[in-house]
Structure 1
Amino acid sequence: MCEEFRALLSKANTQKNNENWVTVNKKPAININEKDLQLLKKSTDFYYFEASGKKVFVKTDNKYWTETFDDKTNSILYYKWLSANRFELEFIESNNVNRKSFSKKGEKYLYEVLSKENNYYWIMFEIPGQNRLVKFKLFAE
């Protein structure tokens, strides 16, 4: 993982009053039922807020996870479910200035669905080989 991305994660950790991103020391308990997991898997339109507060739109299908940023740039990643509540994103490309410097083609990131609350899911983000765990809110549209 490049240093810029590590710095971004640190910024997310130190951002005050950021209810959308939380650094955790250990894996939280999984508290999601099969019905809510199936709703997530069938949904194709999501959004999340970056640590800066900017909204990022996500469009999924059976193969791709496409992020659209506020400047109308995009990141494209392969999207694959690994188990009932775990999925992997593999970076393909981005025309977003920040994202294309954070990731290299082929880098993989692991995600685990923790719970569903109201109109969002708590998702844990894990970088293979790193000890850093961050959970964030993924909102379903």
Structure 2
Amino acid sequence: MTKLRNYDGAPGCSIEAALHIMGGKWKGVILYHLLLDGTHRFNELQRRLTGVPPRLLIKQLRDMEEDGLVVRKVYPVVPPKVEYSLSDEGRSLEPFILGLCGWGDAWLKRRGMTTAAQMRADEEAAGLKSDAPFLAEEQG
């Protein structure tokens, strides 16, 4: 049974409840990676989410586990092995997560911008070194 977090009071509307559950800088990104890439160990997630401090990633994952969006599976081995995956409830967010992704892609495109991941993919396709910081300036 999923443990529910206590809230200060009843949400004012359903949007407030949804944003409370998914709010936070990294929760949507974590859900996106678990949706597209499947089950991840903690270090795999941390590598994908550059810039998130480990303590914050742990907190966000635990919050989502308590809210029933993420399943945490601990294996009884040494060293400890822990995997995170989406629950059925977390998977029910797929149309919204992919919709936000599509909206974000269109927003970036309208402004002539790209993501760091897309820049790396373009560099790899062109056979360039991905650690060359000047490429973004030259392409603009």
TM over 0.5: no
Q: What TM-score do the two structures reach when normalised by structure 2?
A: 0.28
Q: What TM-score do the two structures reach when normalised by structure 1?
A: 0.27
More strand by share: 1
More helix by share: 2
